[in-house]
Amino acid sequence: MATIQEALLIAFDLHQDRRFDEADAIYRQILDAVPGHVMALHLRGILLGQSGRLEEGCDLIRQAIAGDGTQPDFHNNLAGLLEALGRSGEALESMVRAAVLDPDRAVQLNDFAMRSLNAGRTGEAAQALRVAAGLHPLSIELRCNLAVALAADGQFAAAATERRIALLLAPDAAEMLRLLGEYLLQADGQAPDGEAASTLRRALILDPLHHGIWNGVGRLHMEAGRLTEACRAYESGLAVDPSAAELWNNRSNVLKGRDDLETALAGQRRAAALQPDEAGIHNNLGDALLLAGQPEDALAHAQAALALAPQLGDARLLRAAALLTLGRFEQGWAAWEDRWTVPPWLLAAGRFPQPAWTGQPLGGNRLLIWGEQGIGDEIQFASLLPLLVQAGVSCVLECEPRLVPLFARSLPEVEVVARGWPPDPSLTRTGAADPDRAPIAAQIPVGSLPRLLADAGGVPRSAAPYLLADPARVSGLRAAIPAGTLAVGIAWHTTNPKHGRSRNIPLRVLAHALHRPGVRLVVLQYGDWTQEIAALTAEGIDIGGLPGLDPWSDLDGLAAAVAAVDLVVSIDNITVHLAGALGRPTCALLPHAAEWRWLRDRTDTPWYPTVTLCRQQAPKDWSVPLWLARQRLDELAGG
């Protein structure tokens, strides 16, 4: 008959071979013979945790700790099960006990802190790293990580102290200075003349042939918006080490920002070939492919990234955008819900305490719909609210304050509230505080409505035209346009940081394409374009703004101006959404790889029946869209 120790070894071997049932039978036999055998309790607890019985596993390991609390493995493994249960605070306590017993366990504290930081639990991350740094006070990595966690938690003075300590520990170590510089960037996003810049410059002086330092310098310039300098830094690093996949990847990201997609794609493919198992590189390559108008290939790389890192939020969003671009709506709308894992959506998640609406009856209570993303998105998705009203749903809409007058007039059955941070208290009450009004029983972001209200197969629905401009302002603005002229409202510029370069058209090019006798070009574009407009007027082009109109701050006025013109010709910006939602004849000038909402290979859109999509046939070539817009203008003029 085997001894207890021999039986334990046999069970452990079976456990290691993942023959869980056989191992568990022996563990139970040992515990029947010796109920308090701490190692059997510990090992069976781990086995139960691996089998999905996490609570039972925790109970057994706690019994083992009660029998012998000096074993760091016991505390560490209990921490793993507690973290899997989502009880991160208790997990941290167990990890700390393990690290106190064995300071080498500080690496587990560091790993836990990084997971907590990524999950937004900044206080837990800082607490774990304080303990780890206390156990290893000379560790530069722990000091740097602690500085990042403290800064993320808003403890900026404490973070600065940790940075100074790290600098004192490694005044002349180029690699450590590089790490510190990158940590400073992550913590502060500082401008190039800040502490991160000086730290990276010192590192570069010490080791100018270190490609990683050049990478840090490139990131420094990129985050400051200095794309040319960033590209040069990445290229300097590649001159040192052409096999550095991260540098190819980062350089390509800069080139995307400069609208040099062809070169960006070549570099991104080089990065993927050098590092095929890096999820971030697949994601960035997919993003470049989507910008280049290749959604099928973009989808393939998004899925490759998710196979490597299932929780990568950017890849999940890329997958959703590719599916929607391809018109695979049912999958696309479901995938679109993953947007809450990435900024800027992440910052707005959880604003309201009411349960999410999934289409269930509300029993006469109200539904809160809240705007998200940009103003154009709010206008686009609000086109579904009349469908809810028709279905008898009592709606409250929280929206961008500039949209309140327009939405309140256009959606009289909907209560419209200006968005605030924090939200208006009337929107966060879960009980019936006002006896004259039904409580808000559920909430939903406006961008989630298409998933619930789409036609068969997820095809988008819309009640457009649904907006109503102020009739008095429309009459007044129309009166400012010379009688007998055809008024064409134009917009040509967006400040969108990612898509602006591919969408924007020079005003001079647009104006010359639409100029013809009897046509007044009406400026609907925000911003100060006084000099450009004056120069065109001097050339004999009839172009001008409307009196008292500020297209940026006065969206109700902009809607009235759109309603006052005969035709709208605009790039993909808010003007197109307003014109479509108002039911005005519109030519939307779209880049070769238009955003997902415009689908592809079609001239119409399910969102706005009166909008014609005029697409580039090749990147950066506006000749076809402008020809189509001119053709539409000629049709109107002839009529």
The contacts of residue 78 (CB under 8 Å, 6+ apart) are 45, 58, 61, 62, 65, 94
> Is the Cβ–Cβ distance between 569 and 512 less than 8 Å?
no
**Pair 485, 623 in one domain:** yes
Task: Indicate whether 284 belongs to any domain.
Answer: yes
Nearest to 408 by CA among 442, 385, 430: 385
Using alpha carbons, list the distances in angstroms from residue 275 to 247, 249, 269, 278.
Answer: 11, 10, 10, 6
Burial of 206 (0-12, 13-18, 19+ CB in 10 A): middle
Task: Indicate whether 88 belongs to any domain.
Answer: no
Identify residue 285 by its one-letter amino acid code: L
- Mean pLDDT over 432-447 rounds to 83
Domain that holds residue 431: 357-458
Task: Indicate whether 232 belongs to any domain.
Answer: no
pLDDT value of residue 218? 87
Question: Token pair of 152, please?
Answer: 């993320």
Question: Token pair of 105, please?
Answer: 């366990």
Tally the domains of the chain.
3
**Pair 489, 617 in one domain:** yes
- Mean pLDDT over 562-586 rounds to 97
**Pair 336, 409 in one domain:** no
Question: Token pair of 20, please?
Answer: 């869980």
Task: Indicate whether 254 belongs to any domain.
Answer: yes
What does the mean pLDDT of the chain come to? 89
pLDDT band at 190 (very low <50, low <70, confident <90, very high): very low
**Pair 506, 562 in one domain:** yes
Task: Indicate whether 28 belongs to any domain.
Answer: no
**Pair 382, 302 in one domain:** no
CA dihedral defined by 380, 381, 382, 385, rounded to 10 degrees?
140
Task: Indicate whether 256 belongs to any domain.
Answer: yes
**Pair 491, 604 in one domain:** yes
> Is the Cβ–Cβ distance between 85 and 53 less than 8 Å?
no
- Tell me which DSSP letter residue 242 carries: T
pLDDT value of residue 522? 97
pLDDT band at 111 (very low <50, low <70, confident <90, very high): confident
CATH number at 270 reads: 1.25.40.10
The sign of the torsion formed by the CA atoms of 340, 344, 347, 348 equals negative
**Pair 514, 630 in one domain:** yes
Alpha helices for 349-398 (secondary structure H): 375-382, 385-390
> Is the Cβ–Cβ distance between 481 and 520 less than 8 Å?
yes
**Over the stretch 507-550, which tens digit does the pLDDT of each residue have?**
999 999 999 999 999 999 999 999 999 999 999 999 999 988 99
Task: Indicate whether 556 belongs to any domain.
Answer: yes
**Over the stretch 591-625, which tens digit does the pLDDT of each residue have?**
998 999 999 889 999 999 999 999 999 988 999 99
**Pair 318, 398 in one domain:** no
**Pair 519, 588 in one domain:** yes
**Pair 384, 308 in one domain:** no
CATH number at 581 reads: 3.40.50.2000
**Pair 489, 634 in one domain:** yes
**Pair 509, 443 in one domain:** no
Give the residue with greater pLDDT, 173 vs 169: 169
Instruction: Tell me: cis bond preceding 242? Omega within 30 of 0 counts.
Output: no
Q: Which of 52-61, 396-405, 485-494 has the lowest mean pLDDT?
A: 52-61
Using the predicted structure, report yes or no on whether residue 100 has a pLDDT greater than 90. Answer: no
Task: Indicate whether 22 belongs to any domain.
Answer: no
